[in-house]
């Protein structure tokens, strides 16, 4: 069975999408589903190529047991639309930018991550970059919830 491949996307790939990448990798590993789900992340902009996640993202993620240190920022590529089964964006701007470069036959792959939230009702994962600690905690709250729902969705849709 071919694994489901996920790509998490935010603007610079240093806060929200690597957080989602790290959280989902952790959940997949804990569930023993590394043969069922593959995880990656990218940004709509090439602001920080090769950079590790923002230190604040790493700090708050580490407090909850997620290690983001090995991740490196990159920009979304045309090949990503063929490679990944779901492309999960963090907000409306990311959605518009990803849809603008998405091949017409792949638009069904592009979704907002928060569509998979089980408990929270936020339509987006807000960008914490210019805010304080609470923004990074809110990102983790939303991402953890959405990743739980996403994992359920993947398992329910597998034969």
In three-state secondary structure terms, 64 is: coil
Instruction: Establish whether 127 is a catalytic residue.
Output: yes
**Of the listed 15, 16, 21, 145, which one is catalytic?**
16
Instruction: Establish whether 10 is a catalytic residue.
Output: yes
Instruction: Establish whether 56 is a catalytic residue.
Output: no
Q: Spell out the residues 6+ positions from residue 131 whose beta carbon is closer than 8 angstroms to its own.
A: none
**Of the listed 10, 15, 102, 117, which one is catalytic?**
10
**Backbone φ and ψ of 43, nearest 5°:** -120, 155
**Of the listed 21, 80, 91, 127, which one is catalytic?**
127
User: CA-CA distances (angstroms) from residue 146 to 1, 9, 23, 51, 78?
Assistant: 24, 14, 10, 25, 25
Which of 3, 17, 5, 142 shows the shortest CA–CA distance to 75? 17
Active-site annotation, residues:
10, 16, 127
């Amino acid at each position: 069975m071919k694994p489901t491949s996920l790509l998490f996307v935010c603007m610079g790939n240093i806060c929200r999408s690597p957080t989602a990448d790290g959280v989902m990798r952790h959940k997949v590993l804990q569930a023993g589903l590394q043969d069922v789900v593959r995880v990656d992340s990218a940004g709509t902009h090439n602001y920080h190529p090769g950079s590790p996640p923002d230190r604040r993202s790493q700090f708050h993620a580490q407090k909850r047991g997620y290690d983001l240190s090995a991740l490196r920022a990159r920009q979304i590529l045309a090949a990503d639309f063929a490679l990944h089964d779901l492309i999960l964006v963090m907000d409306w701007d990311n959605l518009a930018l990803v849809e603008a470069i998405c091949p017409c036959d792949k638009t069904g792959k592009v979704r907002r991550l928060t569509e998979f939230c089980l408990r929270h009702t936020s339509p987006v994962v807000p960008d914490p970059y210019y805010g304080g600690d609470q923004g990074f905690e809110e990102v983790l709250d939303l991402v953890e919830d959405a990743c739980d729902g996403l994992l359920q969705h993947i398992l329910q849709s597998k034969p």
